Amino acid sequence: MKFLDQAKIYVRSGDGGDGVTAFRREKYIEFGGPDGGNGGRGGDIIFEAVPNLNTLIDFRYTQHFRARKGGNGAGSDRTGAAASDVVIQVPIGTQIMDDDRETMLADLDAAGKRIVLCRGGDGGRGNAHYKTSTNRAPRRSDKGWPGEERWVWLRLKLIADAGLVGLPNAGKSTFLSVVSAARPKIADYPFTTLHPQLGVVRLSMTEEFVLADIPGLIEGAHEGHGLGDRFLGHVERCAVLLHLIDGAAGDVVEAWRTIRNELVEYGGGLADKPEIVVLNKADAMTPQQLSARKRALAKASGSPVMVMSGVSRQGVPEVLRALYERVAEARTKRAEAAADTDVAS
C-alpha cells in the first residue's frame, strides 16, 4: 500500500429541503386550511478516526464529498425526509486543516473520535407553519437553507510513543527491524527509507510501545534539501526521541548538531522533547575510537550517551529499556492530566 500523509479534499453538506404551500381540500370539509409540510434537513459531513487505516491514499482518487439534499415537504403536513450523513473515515492521528494550511479545524487523535465539519442546511418551513388566528390561509413557504462547503487539507501524523531521528544511513531502519516485526527497506545508500514506518516493541507481556522511523534528515532539510523535513510531523506526538548517530562515520559531534539544528528549525516543540542520544555501529569502531567519540558527543550534547550496535544487538536491550521508561513516564502524566480534567468537569 502506498503511503500518503497529505491530501486536499472538497466537502459540501446537503441543502435543506424546501417547504411547500398546500391546502387541505376534502369533500364535506368546508375550511380545510393550510397543510404544507416543512422540508427535511440536509446531510452532514462527518469525519471519524478509525484504527484500521494508516494512510490517506484513498483521498488521492476520491477528492470530492457531497451530502444529499433533504427531501421537500408535502401536503397533509408531511415533512420531507432528512438526508443521510456522509461519514468520512480517516486514520487515527489525522489533522484537518483549513485551506490556508495553518488553521487547525480538528485533531482526530483517538479511535472513534468524530467531528461534524459541515452541517447540513435546515429544511424550509411549509405554509402550515405560518398559520395564525389572523392569517388563516398563508401562502408563504420557504426554500431550504443551503449547506456548507469548503476545501480542507488532511494531514496525517502517526501515533507513536517514540521516534527515531538521525542522518541517512545512521542505522534507524536496521534498529527498527531488530526490535520489532516491521520490515523496512535496508540498503547501503542514503534515503533508503522514503516514508515513515511503525513498529511495535514488546519488552514483556505488559510492556510495549510503538516506535516510528522517519526518512533521514540532512543539513538544510528545513529548506527542502534531501527529502525535506515534512516527515518530522510524524514524531511530533512522540514522548521521546531516539537520536541515532553513526559512530563509524567520523565526526559524530557535527552529525548531532546537524539534526538538532533541523529540529529547532522545524519547530513544533521537537527540540524540547526528551532525547536519548545513542552512538550506533559500535562493532565498526575500535575501542579507542568508541571511547573518544562517546566522550566528545557527551560533552557537546550535555547528556549521557548510550552505545549500541543494531547488527550485533550489543546494547540494544539497554536502549529499549531507557526508551520504555520515558514512554511510561509520559503515559503516567497523561493519565493524571486526564483524571484532573474529569474531576474539574
168 is in an annotated binding site: yes
169 is in an annotated binding site: yes
Q: Is the pLDDT of residue 221 over 70?
A: no
Note the pLDDT tens digit of each residue in 278-333.
998 888 888 898 899 899 999 988 889 999 988 888 889 999 999 999 988 888 88
The partner residues of 7 in beta bridges, in order of sequence, read 154
Strands 275-280 and 197-202: unpaired
Q: Which CATH number among 3.30.479.30, 2.70.210.12, 3.90.1300.10, 3.10.450.350 corresponds to the domain 1-156?
A: 2.70.210.12
Rounded CA separation 209/161 (Å): 6
216 is in an annotated binding site: yes
For the chain, percent of residues with pLDDT exceeding 90: 34
- Sheet with 114-118: list strands edge to edge: 86-91, 45-50, 114-118
Q: What is the mean pLDDT of the chain?
A: 86
Higher local confidence (pLDDT), 83 or 229:
83
Cα 296 versus chain centre, distance: 38
Q: At what angle do helices 252-266 and 287-301 cross, to 10 degrees?
A: 30
Domain residue ranges in the chain:
1-156, 162-344
Most confident region among 97-101, 181-185, 235-239 by mean pLDDT: 97-101
214 is in an annotated binding site: yes
Mean pLDDT value of segment 249-265: 86
Note the pLDDT tens digit of each residue in 50-84.
988 878 888 988 999 999 999 999 998 999 999 99
Q: Please give the full DSSP string across 127-155, using - where no structure is assigned.
A: GGGG--SS-SS-----PPPP--EEEEEEE
Rounded CA separation 139/336 (Å): 61
76 is in an annotated binding site: no
**Lowest mean per-residue pLDDT among 27-36, 135-144, 184-193, 290-299:** 184-193
Strands 64-66 and 6-12: parallel
54 is in an annotated binding site: no
Determine the topology of domain 162-344 in CATH: Rossmann fold (3.40.50)
Q: Is the pLDDT of residue 187 over 70?
A: no
280 is in an annotated binding site: yes
Query: What was the pLDDT predicted at 229?
Result: 64
Task: For residue 261, give the 3-state DSSP assignment.
Answer: helix
pLDDT band at 344 (very low <50, low <70, confident <90, very high): low
174 is in an annotated binding site: no
pLDDT band at 9 (very low <50, low <70, confident <90, very high): very high
Mean pLDDT value of segment 16-42: 89
- Please, are residues 138 and 130 in contact by the beta-carbon 8 Å criterion? yes
Q: Is the pLDDT of residue 227 over 60?
A: no
Residues 270, 272, 275: CA angle, nearest 5 degrees: 85
Burial 77-107 (b: 16+ CB within 10 A, else e): bbbbebbebbebebbbbbbbbeeeeeeeebb
191 is in an annotated binding site: yes
Mean pLDDT value of segment 172-176: 85
Closest CA to 45 of 15, 20, 21: 15
213 is in an annotated binding site: yes
Q: Is the pLDDT of residue 195 over 80?
A: no
Q: What is the CA radius of gyration of the chain?
A: 29
57 is in an annotated binding site: no
Rounded CA separation 121/44 (Å): 8
111 is in an annotated binding site: no
172 is in an annotated binding site: yes
Mean pLDDT value of segment 183-203: 71
Rounded CA separation 288/180 (Å): 32
The partner residues of 105 in beta bridges, in order of sequence, read none
In order of 29, 33, 237, 271, 300, the CA distances from 55 in angstroms are: 64, 58, 17, 26, 38
In order of 16, 73, 85, 124, 141, the CA distances from 33 in angstroms are: 25, 16, 35, 19, 14
Rounded CA separation 275/241 (Å): 5
**Lowest mean per-residue pLDDT among 87-91, 248-252, 325-329:** 248-252
Higher local confidence (pLDDT), 192 or 159:
159
Amino acid at 68: R
Indicate yes or no: pTM above 0.85.
no
Higher local confidence (pLDDT), 106 or 331:
106
DSSP alpha helix (H) spans, 98-198 = 172-179
Query: What was the pLDDT predicted at 189?
Result: 54
113 is in an annotated binding site: no
309 is in an annotated binding site: yes
Rounded CA separation 91/196 (Å): 14
The partner residues of 332 in beta bridges, in order of sequence, read none
282 is in an annotated binding site: yes
What is the CB neighbour count within 10 angstroms for residue 284?
Answer: 16
Q: Is the pLDDT of residue 141 over 60?
A: yes
Cell digits of residue 147: 449547506
